[in-house]
């Protein structure tokens, strides 16, 4: 359930090379004493202020004594996707082993800690399941670990039933009874049980991503970012504006959620577990976030699988981060749940550190003011954008303080970037026929 599989590609420690610095207290609390009794301390109410004052993750670690801890030293020594990270990636390990026993993999669509791992493990194992009877996948509308708690809601979202209880009673228990009890009866658990957000419906599927039980296809379909900050399934037109731009200032990074920002944690009153379903209006109103919006949908749009960001972009700096967020923009009035009026719900989102555009192991400075292609996968989605809604895409260059700031000038290690390295940069998103930017959606279609 919600496994930590690859700490560099998309789980606890990095996402596509960007360091998840808000996880630093976890390193400290796990290693500082045998009993995890020493807690991280802070003199700031808002984590945004704490990380800004320190300057860089490396400097904050130095001030807090983390360099005494072995794992922190490993993180500092291995900022790239080298053998240290590759060789311990669980999906790679499993891919090299035979499939000997039945396996159930559980993935949470809004897993705020390990959103990469479960799907990566499923992909590694599914190729070995020749009879489609040993590898099972469950996809639920949960945060990290919510499948063992109440699954009727997450943040402002209401699912119409306790989805976690359904999972435990109707999927997990029959699976365990079948495979762990002597003489267990054959279970009716499908190869894939996937909760469809938007319609709040469980789907029984033969594989992932199948889109439906039968009679449909999943087709990679570009949702273009076009002139006028619009999103469209129609390619850019000749003569339209060539690009949209914003200024990214690392001295004023975009908060990943509304301030004050709480630390990572699960104590009473803490909301870390629900940040992936936070309303994104906090970001869309900022001048350093490019927000592209579709027309109002006249028919449902269903996606099943991993969207992929395809940005043709330039920066006036020599390094840059790119954050792409696929968002369901609700209508202004939502009768069953007024709290969702105009809500901007992240369906899938991730970050990519530009220095790794050509190689994940060997970082390279970006040529300033050159339009370059940045292609990276976004987390798995199983969602229906309903009629009356719109599809939104936000592009920005910081997601702070969850991720460390990119100084936007190339330095050997961002962990040790100096104050003078952090500089403003002009970021351009291109949207011409020859240089089209889009999010490739795994669109489900029926004849």
Read off the pLDDT of residues 210-242 as tens digits, 9 standing for 90 and up: 999 999 999 999 999 999 999 999 999 999 999
Domain count, the chain: 2
- Half-sphere exposure of residue 35, counting CA atoms within 13 Å on the CB side? 1
CA-based radius of gyration for the chain:
22
Q: What is the dihedral of CA 155, 161, 162, 166, to 10 degrees?
A: -140
Q: Which parts of the chain register pLDDT below 50?
A: none
Q: By C-alpha distance, which of 210, 289, 217, 191 is closest to 248?
A: 289
For residues 234 and 240, what is the distance between their CA atoms, to the nearest angstrom?
Answer: 13
Model pLDDT, residue 186: 79
Model pLDDT, residue 38: 65
Do residue 376 and residue 233 come from a single domain?
yes
| Cis peptide bond upstream of 401, omega within 30 | yes
Model pLDDT, residue 335: 83
Q: What is the CATH number of the domain that holds 267?
A: 2.60.120.260
Model pLDDT, residue 36: 61
Do residue 231 and residue 294 come from a single domain?
yes
Distances (CA, A) of 112 to 349, 353, 371, 379, 403: 11, 19, 32, 11, 13
For residues 147 and 121, what is the distance between their CA atoms, to the nearest angstrom?
Answer: 18
Q: Which residues contact 39 (CB under 8 A, 6 or more apart)?
A: 25, 29
The pLDDT tens digits of the residues spanning 310-342 come to 999 999 999 999 999 999 999 999 988 999 999
For residues 144 and 51, what is the distance between their CA atoms, to the nearest angstrom?
Answer: 24
Residue 3 lies in a domain: no
Q: Name the pTM for this structure.
A: 0.97
* Single residue among 205, 240, 269 that ends a domain in this structure: 205
Whether 319 and 365 have beta carbons less than 8 Å apart is answered as: yes
Do residue 259 and residue 321 come from a single domain?
yes
Model pLDDT, residue 30: 83
Dihedrals phi, psi of 15, to nearest 5 degrees: -130, 115
For residues 392 and 306, what is the distance between their CA atoms, to the nearest angstrom?
Answer: 17
Triad 89, 94, 98: Cα angle to 5°: 165
Do residue 251 and residue 168 come from a single domain?
no
Q: Which residues contact 73 (CB under 8 A, 6 or more apart)?
A: 67
* 100-105 CB contacts, 8 Å cutoff, 24+ apart: 101/134, 101/179, 102/133, 102/134, 102/135, 102/136, 102/175, 102/179, 103/134, 103/135, 103/136, 104/136, 104/137, 104/138, 104/172, 104/175, 105/3, 105/135, 105/136, 105/137, 105/138
| Domain limits for position 132 | 14-205
* Single residue among 165, 184, 205 that ends a domain in this structure: 205
Residue 289 lies in a domain: yes
* Single residue among 205, 237, 265 that ends a domain in this structure: 205
For residues 370 and 373, what is the distance between their CA atoms, to the nearest angstrom?
Answer: 10
For residues 381 and 384, what is the distance between their CA atoms, to the nearest angstrom?
Answer: 9
Do residue 193 and residue 230 come from a single domain?
no
């Amino acid at each position: 359930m919600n496994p930590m599989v690859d700490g560099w590609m998309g789980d606890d420690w990095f996402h596509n090379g960007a360091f998840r610095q808000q996880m630093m207290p976890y390193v400290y609390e796990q290693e500082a004493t045998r009993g995890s009794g020493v807690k991280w301390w802070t003199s700031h109410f808002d984590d945004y202020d704490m990380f800004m004052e320190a300057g860089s993750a490396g400097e904050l670690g130095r001030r807090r004594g983390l360099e005494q801890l072995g794992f922190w030293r490993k993180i500092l020594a291995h900022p790239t996707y080298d053998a240290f990270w590759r060789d311990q990636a669980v999906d790679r390990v499993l891919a090299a082993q035979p499939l000997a026993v039945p396996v159930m993999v559980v993935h949470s669509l809004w897993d705020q800690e390990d959103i990469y791992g479960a799907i990566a493990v499923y992909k590694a194992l599914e190729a070995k399941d020749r009879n489609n009877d040993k590898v099972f996948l469950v996809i639920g509308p949960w945060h990290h670990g919510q499948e063992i708690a109440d699954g009727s809601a997450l943040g402002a979202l209401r699912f119409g039933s306790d989805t976690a209880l359904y999972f435990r009673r109707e999927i997990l228990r029959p699976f365990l009874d079948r495979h762990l009890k002597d003489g267990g009866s054959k279970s009716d658990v499908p190869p894939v049980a996937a909760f469809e957000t938007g319609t709040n419906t469980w789907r029984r599927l033969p594989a992932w991503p199948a889109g439906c039980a039968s009679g449909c296809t999943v087709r990679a379909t570009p949702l273009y970012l076009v002139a006028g900050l619009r999103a469209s399934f129609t390619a850019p037109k000749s003569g339209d504006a060539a690009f949209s731009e914003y200024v990214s200032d690392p001295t004023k990074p975009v908060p990943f959620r509304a301030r004050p920002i709480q630390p990572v944690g699960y104590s009473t009153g803490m909301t870390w577990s629900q940040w992936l379903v936070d309303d994104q209006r906090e970001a869309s109103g900022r001048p350093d976030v490019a927000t592209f919006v579709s027309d109002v949908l006249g028919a449902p749009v269903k996606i099943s699988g991993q969207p992929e960001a395809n940005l043709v972009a330039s920066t006036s700096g020599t390094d840059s981060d790119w954050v792409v967020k696929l968002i369901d923009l609700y209508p202004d009035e939502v009768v069953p749940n007024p709290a969702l009026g105009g809500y901007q719900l992240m369906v899938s989102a991730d970050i990519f550190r530009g220095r790794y555009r050509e190689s994940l192991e060997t970082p390279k400075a970006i040529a300033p003011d050159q339009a370059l292609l940045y292609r990276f996968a976004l987390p798995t989605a199983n969602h229906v954008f309903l009629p009356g809604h719109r599809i939104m895409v936000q592009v920005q260059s910081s997601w702070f303080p969850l991720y460390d700031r990119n100084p936007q000038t190339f330095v050997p290690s961002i962990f040790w970037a100096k104050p003078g390295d952090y500089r403003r940069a002009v970021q351009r998103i291109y949207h011409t026929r020859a240089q089209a930017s889009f999010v490739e959606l795994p669109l489900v279609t029926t004849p």
